[in-house]
Amino acid sequence: MIVAVASGKGGTGKTTVSTSLALVAAEKGKVCFLDCDVEEPNAHIILKPRLSGQEAVRVRVPVIEQERCTLCGRCADVCAFHALVVLPQEVMVFSPMCHGCGGCWHLCPAGAIHPGWREIGQMEEGECGKIRFVHGRLKVGEAMSPPLIRAVKQRAQAGALNIVDAPPGTSCPVVAAVEGADFCLLVTEPTPFGLHDLELAWEMVSQLGIPCGVVVNRSDGRDEPVEEFCRTRNLPLLMRLPLDRDVARGYARGIPPIAVHPAWKGHFRELLHAISERAGLKCAKS
């Protein structure tokens, strides 16, 4: 089973929830934690895995053989991403804009383009207790995160609970992280910004046809707008974590909330149970 943990905005406590869920689930079974927030992976600060493997993740880019090029301009015409510019004396490649579709090297009439490689980041993996841990680290300044996210997700383990920590927001990297999940947890906070971005995230997940539920983090007892939103969308509100200074202090030092308040483990066990029931329903229907 794959459970994605997402949020419409950053700073809602997505990683707090995903790591605590993994720690509680690992008490009973096999867990694989996939940190797909590749621009700012930080789950390792809480889970503290012993990393044992590293692998470069690369994407295809065109390499121009200028001697064979006739400057016909066909490659620039077919590139939907404007990654190629035909100048009077050469073809220039803007690699960071290339999506590796292969159109240019397949259609170059002179056979002057060959596929090369460009590294976009690193994937690291290891163990933290019973949890298999994988995360991606996108190179600084790199914009092409979906291939790295997909590479991390390919490490999902059969027969395990695979927890995907998605990037915040609702853009392409988030879609790459959550697509294919059996269930998506949407973590929000009881603020107008939290509610606004929860709505965007819910729309995205709904378009992908993934069943989802909501977790309110830092609940201050004034969650009515989120409750109303969930009620009108028939969206289950699965857990509330209260605003708690000790938890915030612990988080700042890389300590998960269930270590600060062991009684909170019960909340996460119930959350896990609710997810299993809902994801199971979806699996049974499909």
Of 156, 130, 125, nearest to 1 by C-alpha is 156
Q: What is the DSSP letter of 243?
A: -
- Name which of 95 and 206 has its Cβ closer to ligand SF4: 95
Q: How far apart are CA 207 and CA 188, in angstroms?
A: 19
108: contact with ligand SF4 by CB under 6 A: yes
Nearest-approach distance from CB 176 to ligand SF4, in angstroms: 17
Which amino acid is located at 110 in the chain? A
Instruction: Count the Cβ atoms, other than its own, within 10 Å of residue 203.
Output: 13
> Is residue 155 helix, strand or coil?
coil
Query: Is 25 among the residues that bind ligand SF4 (CB under 6 A)?
Result: no
- Cα Dmax for the chain: 71
Contact with ligand SF4 (CB under 6 A): which of 81, 117, 143, 266? 81
**Contact between 26 and 133 (Cβ < 8 Å):** no
Of 81 and 117, the one with the shorter C-beta distance to ligand SF4 is 81
Residue closer to ligand SF4, measured from CB, 88 or 221: 88
Name the residue among 119, 125, 183 with its Cα closest to residue 154. Answer: 125
- The site string for ligand SF4 over 31-70 (x = CB under 6 A, - otherwise) reads -------------------------------x-x----xx
For residue 172, state whether it binds ligand SF4 (rule: CB under 6 A): no
Counting contacts by CB under 6 A, is residue 98 touching ligand SF4? yes
- Residue 178: count other Cβ atoms within 10 Å of its Cβ: 29
Q: CB of residue 116 vs ligand SF4: minimum separation in angstroms?
A: 10
Q: How far apart are the first and last CA of the chain?
A: 13
Q: Which residue has the tokens 């109303």?
A: 228
Q: Taking the complex as a whole, how short is the minimal distance between the CB of residue 105 and ligand SF4, in angstroms?
A: 7
Task: Verify binding: residue 117, ligand SF4, rule CB under 6 A.
Answer: no
Q: How far is the CB of 111 from ligand SF4 (least distance, A)?
A: 8
> Residue 82 or 231: which CB sits closer to ligand SF4?
82
Rule CB under 6 A: is residue 71 a binding residue for ligand SF4? yes
Q: Which of 10, 102, 266, 280 binds ligand SF4 (CB under 6 A)?
A: 102
Give the contacts of 134 (CB within 8 A, at least 6 positions apart). Answer: 32, 33, 34, 35, 123, 124, 125, 152, 155
Q: Where along the sequence are the contacts to ligand SF4 (CB under 6 A)?
A: 62, 64, 69-75, 78-79, 81, 83-84, 86, 91, 98-104, 108, 110, 112-113
